[in-house]
Amino acid sequence: MLDDLTKMAEPYKIKMVEPLKIRTKEERIRLIKEAGYNPFLLNAEDVYIDLLTDSGTSAMSDNQWAGMMLGDESYAGSKNYIHLVEVVKDIFGYNYVVPTHQGRGAEKVLFPVLVKKGQYVVGNMHFDTTKAHIELSEGIAVNLVTREAEDVGNYHPFKGNFDIEALKSFIEEKGPENIAFILATVTCNSAGGQPVSMENIKEVRKMADKYGLYLFFDAARFAENAYFVKQREKGYENKSIKEIVREMFSYGDGFTMSAKKDALVNIGGLIAIKDDVELFTKVKTMLIPMEGFVTYGGLAGRDMEAMARGLEEVLSEDYLSWRINQVKYLGDKLREAGIPIQYPTGGHAVFIDGKKFLPHVPQEQFPSHTICVELYIEAGIRAVEVGTLLAGRDPVTKKEILPALDFVRLTIPRRVYTNSHMDVVAEAVKRVYARRDSIKGLRFTYEPPILRHFTARLEPVE
């Protein structure tokens, strides 16, 4: 365990570097205009600090890279698959495991097995590809996150929790036969990377038992969630991260996972099932035509080896402490400057409240997205909007959906940037905030019909 002094810096040293290209402000103004004021359409080389996502952007360790050289690229029965299964069993206590090419591959395979047409999948807050795959399986995605999640400025230790009362009434109102399964997303990405408490997970398990429902996890940030439990929940302060993870997952029946987050790899996913062998047989049957044979599921052997090693590394408390505190470090700097953020900061990102930051920009003119554009112009920082542009239009009325949470997400890749980079980000946000009154919103010049945020083109409103 780290003490005061050793906590002050990264618990690793840098063995390989990737130089950054630095564009001038004039160049950035031109580049963002050419990209239709949409940071997704920028070339990564034109970005100085890339906080678009923490997905697949981690730096692997020397141990993971060494594992890459031990890839067993056999079609069937690769030793890396066998190692991966052993590691998952050891950490999570789940017996049945298959890899997938990434998290959405796991969703695509598992959900049609579980969902019958018109059934509900109830979660704390579904991730966007998760919602899409529920709908592709002809199910209905329902979010029942605690109301504290919307209380952006106020502290609550577990803003990712389920609203247990709402869960109970929803199941009773619709009838358990109309619920496909319960899905707990840890940490709750869409609410700001906010954790779910062990107590809440236990309550959800009770509900699942009472009504005879499956409880699955969307486990992308399982280790970050466990770290928060250790920090914030009574009775867990002396448990190891591994013990906490083991207990958390003992309440579930299985999980889907994007390994591009806490498994510290650039690509990959997993489906794991605790003990339901019939369900696992169905999963394997779907996996083969969709992702690949059971022992590779769309991944190279070397990728499975890196994933197995990443899953073990991420349990390190020294690593997690640095990781979570780096996010907090940035969040604290912004809060000290009076910038409205989701508080406390979550596991993987700082979320700025765009509506409060630019109160004069109507929500239909994308205040959070506008801040992203300004951050690129200010310092070459690429952030991402999680708000009105992402929410899209109501499928029936075609009106803009105006979500309660309208955020700029500053997503911190794992083990990639130092706190000096975080200082640059904080300074850039402060400078944009200082000139906020003169910032105008944006409107479409091209609005794609679906998933519009990825390819939309915009211009400043005059």
Ligand X SMILES: *Cc1c(COP(=O)(O)O)cnc(C)c1O
Binding site for ligand X (CB under 6 A): 55, 102-104, 127, 129-130, 185, 189, 218, 220, 258, 260-261, 269
Tell me the C-alpha distance between 412 and 16, whole Å.
19
Q: How far is the CB of 220 from ligand X (least distance, A)?
A: 4
Q: How far is the CB of 101 from ligand X (least distance, A)?
A: 8
Is 453 among the catalytic positions? Answer: yes
Which of 46, 50, 163, 218 is catalytic? The answer is 218
Q: How far is the CB of 218 from ligand X (least distance, A)?
A: 5
Q: Which is nearer to ligand X, 207 or 220 (CB)?
A: 220
Q: Which is nearer to ligand X, 260 or 369 (CB)?
A: 260
Is 259 among the catalytic positions? Answer: no
Q: What is the DSSP letter of 337?
A: T
**Which residues have C-beta within 8 Å of that of residue 234, sequence separation ≥ 6?**
none
Residue 195: which of 217, 216, 167, 170 has the closest Cα? 217
Which of 220, 223, 308, 349 is catalytic? The answer is 220
Is 261 among the catalytic positions? Answer: yes
Which of 21, 62, 75, 116 is catalytic? The answer is 75
Is 180 among the catalytic positions? Answer: no
Token representation of residue 166: 């709402």
Is 128 among the catalytic positions? Answer: yes
- Contact, 45 vs 27, CB < 8 A? no
Return left, alpha or beta for 295; rule: phi > 0 is left, psi -120 to 50 is alpha, else beta: alpha
Q: How far is the CB of 3 from ligand X (least distance, A)?
A: 33
Which of 101, 133, 261, 333 is catalytic? The answer is 261
Is 127 among the catalytic positions? Answer: yes
CB atoms within 10 A of CB 172: 10
Q: How far is the CB of 2 from ligand X (least distance, A)?
A: 27
335 forms beta bridges with: none
Return left, alpha or beta for 93; rule: phi > 0 is left, psi -120 to 50 is alpha, else beta: left
Which of 96, 111, 120, 127 is catalytic? The answer is 127
Q: How far is the CB of 28 from ligand X (least distance, A)?
A: 28
Question: Which residue lies nearest ligand X, judged by its C-beta?
Answer: 103
Q: Which is nearer to ligand X, 140 or 424 (CB)?
A: 140
Q: Which is nearer to ligand X, 104 or 382 (CB)?
A: 104
Q: Which is nearer to ligand X, 189 or 197 (CB)?
A: 189
Residue 433: which of 344, 370, 364, 366 has the closest Cα? 370
Q: Which is nearer to ligand X, 128 or 203 (CB)?
A: 128
162 forms beta bridges with: 145
CB half-sphere exposure, 154, CA atoms < 13 A: 6
**Beta-strand (E) ranges in 165-232?**
179-185, 215-218
- Containing H/E element for 229? helix 222-232
Is 75 among the catalytic positions? Answer: yes
Which of 59, 79, 89, 128 is catalytic? The answer is 128
- Catalytic residues, which ones? 75, 127-128, 218, 220, 261, 453
